[in-house]
Amino acid sequence: MKQKQLIHILGTGTFGFLLATGIASCSDVNDWSTDPSFDRLFGTRQASLSVEPEALSATVEWEATPKTQSYLIEVSTDSLYDDRAMGEGGSLLYGTDGSITRSPYVLTGLKGETTYYLRIKSVSEGKESRWVYPEKFKFTTDAEQIFHKVADEDVTDESVRLTWDAAMEATRIEYVRDEEEPAVRELTAEERAAGEVLIDGLDPKVTYTFMIYNGDTRRGTLEVQTKAAVMADSEVTVDAAARRVTFTWGENIGRLTGYVLLEGDVYPADQPQTALTDAQLQARQLTLTGLKGSTTYTVAVMRGRTVRALQTFKTWADIPADYTKVNVGNADEWDAALASHSGKVAVVLTGDVDLTASGTAKIPASITSLLVWGGDVVTAQKAHTFRTKGLSFLGNMDAVEFYNLNLFANGSTNNYLFDFNGSKADINTVSLTSCVLDEARGVFRLRSSSTGTLRNIVAEDCLIRNIGSYGFVSQEGSGLTLGTVTLKKCTYVPHSSGKCLLQNKGGGVVGVVIDQCTFYGFTYAFLDNNKAGFTLDISRTLMGGFTGSKFFQNIATATVNSCKDFYVSADCPFETSIGETRLELKDADLFANPGAGDFRVKPTEYAAFGDPRWEK
């Protein structure tokens, strides 16, 4: 009896235990029931909560929870955590009216480029879940863009017109170039209402970043490059040996911030500027005084760091203080000057001098340096003409210089400008500066009957034309030693009979240095080295109209030391290659009008080469 009661008791207890256990097990697998301890809903799974931000909104997605009537979402720019009361600190609340009933949901009213914190809870019949937070805790909205695309016609070389939807609130524009501090433009009521503003005072061909703000909130960013400025026409007039120059620029140049005057052939950038007066701006003219002699200058008017008009010029040379200055206006006065003076003599022409009919062409040994000047440095007369059948030298000379004059013989098939015929002289340098050489069979003829040394021949800033068959230099024997021939910033257009630039028929090796020159029209060879050699250094030079078949008449006796930026047109058929760049452009495509002597360079990519006089 007792045993049966014991079994009954055990069976009943075991069934009760199993029943209780089964009930408990069923409760554990139901994630969405109420929490019996706290009588609240469970929130959505954290792993299901995601946010996709845009500029002014964000889309929130989550896994729905059963028996949930709605959801409540809170967003704040400050951190959110359980102990923080809902709505504290001005946070944004969504769904307080029970309107959020399903996923996804779009949060509106956000600010661009702003970091937000978010949390969500489930709500049903007065019950709610705990707050659920995203795994990454926060999200950042995209940058807002209320700017419209800038039309091409709204961009100039100094301004940009910006537009935006006028319904979008904005208070100011900030803009910046490079890494400078931003400039600030507060928007007027009219500009805000119109949704547009003109930002001017900009520099050409510069990329600016524009930012539009409403208070501290950035509402858009835009990069715009201003257009390149076309440099205005200008000219510089040298007056009185460049102790004064006048710089004039054209109309429609736009806003200017000042001018710079720099020594050298340089391109201005960040150098300090001198402000222009109202009178200078109105006259579009600037006068500069007190300049140095024999100096190259660059003058430019500027808009910020941008050059709007520019000229490079060289001032007249000073007559050295240790020279005796003599005014000469005709052949008789020339003869008298040579006969009555010795040592270092500076002949200043006050009129044209013609020695082809009368007058001495032989410089006496008593003169050791001779300077022939084409115009008085005080009155700045135009260059005068000096005609000769061939100057020669009877004694040793340190320096012979012809400056700012027209130097002619009496025809391209007769006579020479310098004729060393039986000369016995040791001459350091003969230089021709800012001269026009014309109407001569040759410039320098060094005959085989001459002896001595001529170390340097230098031509700079010269226009050389109508020179006949003897070319610029004809070295005809070994008695007179010629050192180096230099041509810089010159244009050389020979007469139709002009076969070559230089010929060396028997002297030693002659050095030839050429820089920034324009050559056109040789018919035989550029350098005739049939019997003796040349060394050549050539740079920044243009050549066209060459009809000869060889650059060197004899390549075996030539040495090219350097060849850089030497460009020849497609009309130059010579076979010898010295390192030049042969263009596909014909003469008429390279030069403005070469047949008429206009050698302005048409393609802008080659405008920096050749004689600089054609850049103007």
Which tens digits make up the pLDDT trace of 223-240?
Answer: 999 998 788 888 887 764
Rounded Cα distance between 430 and 310, Å, is 32
- The model's pLDDT over 522-571, given as tens digits with 9 standing for 90+, comes to 888 888 887 778 999 999 999 999 888 888 887 777 899 999 999 999 99
Which tops the pLDDT comparison, 255 or 1?
255
What is the reported pLDDT for 498?
Answer: 86
d(CA 129, CA 34): 9
pLDDT of residue 22: 38
**Phi-psi domain of 390 (left: phi exceeds 0; alpha: psi -120 through 50; beta: other):** left
265 and 214 co-located in one domain: no
Percent of the chain at pLDDT > 70 equals: 91
Residue 345 is assigned to a structural domain of this protein: yes
For residue 592, give every residue at least 6 positions away whose Cβ sits within 8 Å of its Cβ, in sequence order, or none. Answer: 598, 599, 600, 601, 602
Q: Is the pLDDT of residue 200 over 80?
A: yes
Same domain, 512 and 425: no
- Contact (CB, 8 A) for 566 and 550: no
Q: What does the pLDDT average to over 87-97?
A: 93
Q: Region 294-319: what's the mean pLDDT?
A: 86
CATH number at residue 253: 2.60.40
Which conformational region is residue 8 in: left (phi greater than 0), alpha (psi within -120 to 50 degrees), or beta?
A: alpha
What is the β-pairing status of strands 159-163 and 172-177? unpaired
For residue 133, is pLDDT > 50? yes
pLDDT recorded at residue 316: 75
pLDDT at 412 over 90: no
> Rounded to the nearest 5 degrees, what angle is found at the Cα of 266, between the Cα atoms of 263 and 268?
100
> Hey, what are 364's tokens?
């006496």
Say whether the peptide bond before residue 104 is cis (omega within 30 degrees of 0): yes
Residue 493 domain flag: no
On whether both 593 and 561 belong to a single domain, the answer is yes
The share of the chain scoring above pLDDT 90, in percent, equals 63
Task: Based on the fold, state whether residues 173 and 297 are members of the same structural domain.
Answer: no
Distances (CA, A) of 337 to 74, 107, 244, 343: 105, 100, 30, 12
In this prediction, residue 354 carries a pLDDT of: 94
Q: Both 293 and 355 in a single domain? A: no
Give yes or no for residue 380 having a pLDDT over 60.
no
Average the pLDDT over 18-33 and give the result.
38
Q: Alpha-carbon distance 273 to 259, whole Å? A: 5
Report the candidate in 328, 164, 140, 313 with the shortest Cα–Cα distance to residue 236: 313
Is the pLDDT assigned to residue 4 strictly greater than 70?
Answer: no
- DSSP sequence for 484-543: EEEEES-EEE--TT---SEEESSSS-EEEEEES-EEE--SSEEEE-SSS-EEEEEEEEEE
Identify whether 83 is part of a domain: yes
Regarding whether 302 and 344 lie in a shared domain, the answer is: no
The mean pLDDT value for 124-130 works out to 91
Q: What is the mean pLDDT of the chain?
A: 87
- Asked if 113 contacts 218 with a C-beta cutoff of 8 angstroms, the reply is yes
- 329 and 452 housed in the same domain: yes
pLDDT at 174: 96
pLDDT band at 9 (very low <50, low <70, confident <90, very high): very low
**Cα–Cα separations (whole angstroms), residue 120 to 38, 62, 69, 99, 413:** 19, 9, 14, 14, 104
Higher pLDDT, 375 or 342: 342
From 225, 250, 274, the end of a domain falls on: 225
In total, the chain counts a number of residues equal to: 616
Same domain for 160 and 254?
no
Residues 495-509: tens digit of each pLDDT: 988 888 998 887 788
Indicate whether 104 and 199 sit together in one domain: no
Q: Which residue has the higher pLDDT, 159 or 316?
A: 159
- Joined together, the tokens standing for residue 35 give 């929490």
In a domain, 528, yes or no: yes
pLDDT of 29 above 60 = no
557 domain residue, yes or no:
yes
- Range(s) of the domain holding residue 96: 46-140
Residue 20: predicted pLDDT: 39
User: Residues 288, 243: one domain?
Assistant: yes
Backbone φ, ψ for residue 336 (5° rounding): -65, -40
pLDDT tens digits for range 255-292: 899 999 999 999 898 899 999 999 999 999 999 988 88
Residue 576: pLDDT band by 50, 70, 90 thresholds? low
Last residue of a domain, one of 282, 314, 346: 314
- Give the pLDDT confidence score for residue 369 in this predicted structure: 97
The Cα 465–Cα 468 span in angstroms is 9
Band (178; pLDDT cuts 50, 70, 90): confident
Residue 285 lies in a domain: yes
In angstroms, rounded to a whole number, what is the distance separating the alpha carbons of residues 555 and 560?
10
Between CA 515 and CA 536 the distance in angstroms is 11
pLDDT band at 420 (very low <50, low <70, confident <90, very high): very high
Check whether residue 364 and residue 451 sit in a common domain. yes
| CATH (domain of 170) | 2.60.40.10
Strand-pair category, 397-403 with 463-465: unpaired
Total of domains in the chain: 5
Can you give the pLDDT at residue 14? 39
**Mean of the pLDDT values across residues 112-127?**
92
